[in-house]
Amino acid sequence: MRAGLARALATVGGLGDRLPAPGTTVGSLAAVLAFAVLSRALGESTWVGAAVGLVILVPLAVTACGVEAARRGEADPGPVVLDEVVGQWLALSCLVGTRTGVPSGLALAVSFVLFRVFDVLKPWPIRRLERLAGGIGIVADDLAAGLAAAVCQLVVSRWLPVAG
């Protein structure tokens, strides 16, 4: 992958470099917004778009984040936020994978908060995944945080209206 393309993808079009909020929050929020638009467009078929998105995003993120991290000479540079997009997308995908319909605003917000908590705290074994080399290490911890958020969402969804 060419360095310019890797930078554009890894920083989500430069969002990770430019915005005043922490890049990790920006990447997660970008994923939630994109997912909300997708779910409104696809309705009952949102799970298909979510699954296709993961199939495309995961290998793309591993490659682009790895190339950009090497270019910057850092293990996991702050402006590289495509990994957060992928982790948040996984959490959201699990949300629609277990229900029909379009996720409510509350469901999207709960997913965002849960993912951010797991991404920031990185409880065991999530933190260990950061030690993996290159793009795999950059993305793996966020995928694990997304999976942990998804499990919590399933528990929380028993009490909250998560489909709108």
How do residues 71-117 score in pLDDT, each as one tens digit?
Answer: 999 999 989 999 999 999 999 998 886 666 678 888 899 999 999 99
Determine the pLDDT at residue 156: 77
Among candidate residues 66, 93, 87, 49, the one with its CA nearest the CA of residue 9:
66
Cβ–Cβ contacts within 10 Å for residue 82, how many?
31
The two structure tokens encoding residue 94: 């699990």
Q: Measured on CA atoms in the order 74, 77, 80, 86, is the torsion positive or negative?
A: positive
Tell me the average pLDDT across 109-138: 94
Determine the pLDDT at residue 95: 81
Among candidate residues 50, 25, 48, 13, the one with its CA nearest the CA of residue 35:
50
> Exposure of 85 by Cβ count < 10 A (0-12 exposed, 13-18 middle, 19+ buried)?
buried
Asked if 146 and 89 count as a contact pair (C-beta separation under 8 A), the reply is yes
Determine the pLDDT at residue 68: 97
